[in-house]
Amino acid sequence: MKTLLKAAALTACLATALALPAPAHAHDRGGMNGFMYGLNGVLTAIADPFAGFADPPSHYDALPLHQVTGRVLGFVEGLGLGVYRATSGVVDMVAAPLYVVPTIGPKARFEIFVGDSGVSGSLG
């Protein structure tokens, strides 16, 4: 019985991933459908804290010692953005079969999967 349930769950996951109505999801996200956009968000969420540390946002320039405090706050901001990106990526993957639901994730910082633009690994 457990084997049957595992097989049914695997079949449902594969059917969801492979049989998505891609044209319905091709919004302004570079041609990626909702499932792939969510998967991209989950896989790239770990890069947000490090990107915030390496290139802190310019709105921290007015702080005292902004070279140090900007990097620390950029890392903390990146942690929050990474959690949001991963969570919204999971929601995008789960809601992908409902082709009327738009993607909710933030703009991709990196595109792992090639979209209609033909660019892979580009900065978002």
Shortest CA distance to 75 belongs to which of 65, 60, 88, 62?
Answer: 60
Q: What is the DSSP string of 6-26?
A: HHHHHHHHHHHHHS--HHHH-
State the pTM of this model.
0.63
Please determine, for residue 117, whether its predicted confidence score (pLDDT) is greater than 50: no
In the chain, domain spans = 2-95
**pLDDT, tens digit, 9 for 90 and up, residues 26-78:** 444 444 577 888 888 899 899 999 988 888 888 888 888 878 888 888 899 99
> What is the DSSP secondary structure assignment for residue 50, as one 8-state letter?
H
Please determine, for residue 90, whether its predicted confidence score (pLDDT) is greater than 50: yes
How far apart, in whole angstroms, are the C-alpha atoms of residue 79 and residue 94? 23
Would you say 99 and 22 are in contact if contact means Cβ atoms under 8 Å apart?
no
Please determine, for residue 116, whether its predicted confidence score (pLDDT) is greater than 60: no
**pLDDT, tens digit, 9 for 90 and up, residues 97-113:** 776 677 777 887 777 77
Residue of 63 and 13 predicted with greater confidence: 63
